[in-house]
Amino acid sequence: MNLYLLERTDDIGYDEFDSIIVAAPTEQAACAIPPDRGYWMDCRWLPKERWDEGLTLTVTLIGTTHYPAGTVVHESFNAG
- What does the domain layout of the chain look like in residue ranges? 2-78
17-43 pLDDT per residue, tens: 889 999 999 999 998 888 766 655 666
The answer to whether 72 and 16 have CB atoms below 8 angstroms apart is no
| Poorest-pLDDT segment among 11-15, 45-49, 54-58, 64-68 | 45-49
What's the pTM? 0.80
- The predicted structure's pLDDT at residue 6: 93
Q: CB-side exposure of 5: number of CA atoms within 13 Å?
A: 8
The pLDDT, as a whole number, for residue 15 is: 75
Which pLDDT value is given to residue 12?
82
Average pLDDT over the chain, rounded to an integer: 83
CA dist., res. 34 & res. 51, Å (int): 6
